[in-house]
């Protein structure tokens, strides 16, 4: 995937107006760049369209407009289907665009890729909710984080007043970055992102729970934060189902760029 980091100097005014003029694109497209955290001013991520720029500021823009035209179904039966979720769409958008008649069982963040379950009936949805509540589902992720993380960690830190447990096993690491296998025993909102931030190893390019100032151009060039739902295993109707999602191309490229 070839991405361009466009650099703009010597401009003043609102970031929205500058990018419209310099990139010759519409207001809507500028807002998409901002919403996807593709705009940096003096190395800081900027996502507010009214942000004021002075002539001394350095603007950098990852000029990329991702389009999702289809979603891959990796398994389907009469009760549910398993999707390989692409980035840049949240689960509600996926439902609206591709699966209007199906029921959302669980959620992945807009930028997270990987395995996602949709039920074909309200009854099956409720059965899956019970499976999740009873912790009878195994959920494994892959993540790239800032910093060297060399050892197994079990994080037990409640989120929003509820128990939250995350298990981390390093796969590889350098002085500045680590590639992790992550298991979650609970399913709290943004659990992995929050827990990794809590131990000072936030996911790369996660500007909500990690650093908003990014000096490393390799990280600026990443299209999203690197989190992937890699494996699911659960019982359903007296049968054990197990699914794996291979790492998407952007994740593989990130590993290569960061020497992981």
Q: Does residue 1 surpass a pLDDT of 70?
A: no
125 and 246 belong to one structural domain: yes
Residues 210-230, mean pLDDT to the nearest whole number: 96
pLDDT for residue 126: 97
State whether 120 and 210 are in the same domain: yes
Last residue of a domain, one of 63, 82, 107: 63
Together in a domain, 130 and 217? yes
pLDDT at res. 2: 65
Same domain, 53 and 78: no
Same domain, 32 and 76: no
CATH number at residue 131: 3.30.2350.10
Residue ending a domain, choose from 45, 63, 81: 63
**Do 34 and 140 fall within a single domain?**
no
pLDDT at 31: 96
Q: Is the pLDDT of residue 21 over 80?
A: yes
Same domain, 223 and 133: yes
Q: 42, 63, 84: which is the final residue of a domain? A: 63
Q: Does 29 share its domain with 85?
A: no
Q: What is the CATH number of the domain that holds 54?
A: 3.10.290.10
Question: CA-CA distance, 150 to 235, in Å (whole number)?
Answer: 33
What's the pLDDT score for residue 3? 80
Could you tell me if 42 and 145 lie in one domain? no
87-138 pLDDT per residue, tens: 999 999 999 999 999 999 999 999 999 999 999 999 999 999 999 999 999 9
Question: What is the domain extent for residue 149?
Answer: 72-257
Three-state SS sequence of the chain: CCCEEEEEECCCEEHHHHHHHHHCCCHHHHHHHHHCCCEEECCEECCCCCCEECCCCEEEEEECCCCCCCCEEEEECCCEEEEEECCCCCHHHHHHHHCCCCEECCCCCCCCEEEEEEECCHHHHHHHHHHHHCCCCEEEEEEEEECCCCCCEEEECCECCECCEEEEEEEEECCCEEEEEEEECCCCCCHHHHHHHHCCCCECCCCCCCCCECCCHHHHCCCCCCEEEEEEEEEECCEEEEEECCCCHHHHHHHHHCCC
Which phi and psi angles does 242 have, rounded to 5°? -140, 130
Model confidence at 69, in pLDDT bands (50, 70, 90)?
Answer: confident
227-249 pLDDT, tens digit per residue, is 999 999 999 999 999 999 999 99
Same domain, 58 and 80: no
**Together in a domain, 91 and 56:** no
Total domains in the chain come to: 2
Q: Residue 14: is its pLDDT beyond 90?
A: yes
Write the pLDDT tens digit of every residue in 51-67. 999 999 999 999 999 98
Percentage of the chain with pLDDT > 70? 99
Find the mean pLDDT for residues 166-170. 98
- pLDDT level of residue 68 (50, 70, 90 thresholds): confident
Q: Give the pLDDT mean for 62-87.
A: 94
> Does residue 57 share a domain with residue 83?
no
């Amino acid at each position: 995937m070839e991405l361009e980091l466009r650099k703009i100097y010597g401009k003043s005014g609102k970031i929205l107006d500058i990018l419209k003029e310099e990139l010759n694109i519409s207001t809507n497209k500028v807002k998409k760049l901002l919403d996807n955290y593709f705009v940096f001013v003096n190395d800081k991520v900027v996502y507010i369209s009214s942000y004021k720029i002075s002539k001394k500021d350095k603007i950098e823009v990852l000029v990329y407009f991702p389009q999702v035209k289809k979603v891959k179904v990796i398994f389907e039966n009469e009760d549910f289907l398993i999707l390989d979720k692409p980035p840049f769409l949240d689960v509600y958008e996926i439902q609206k665009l591709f699966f209007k008649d199906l029921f959302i069982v669980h959620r992945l963040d807009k930028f997270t890729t990987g395995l996602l379950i949709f039920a074909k009936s309200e009854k099956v949805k409720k059965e899956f909710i019970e499976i999740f509540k009873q912790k009878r589902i195994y959920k494994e992720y892959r993540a790239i984080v800032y910093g060297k993380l060399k050892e197994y960690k079990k994080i037990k830190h409640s989120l929003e007043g509820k128990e939250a447990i995350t298990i981390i096993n390093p796969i590889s690491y350098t002085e500045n970055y680590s590639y992790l296998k992550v298991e979650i025993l609970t399913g709290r909102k943004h659990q992995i992102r929050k827990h990794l931030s809590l131990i000072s190893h936030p996911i790369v390019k996660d500007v909500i729970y990690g650093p908003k100032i990014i000096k490393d151009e390799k990280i600026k060039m990443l299209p999203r934060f690197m989190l992937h739902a890699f494996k699911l295993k659960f019982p359903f109707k007296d049968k054990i189902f197990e699914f794996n999602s291979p790492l998407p191309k952007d994740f593989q490229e990130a590993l290569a760029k960061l020497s992981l």
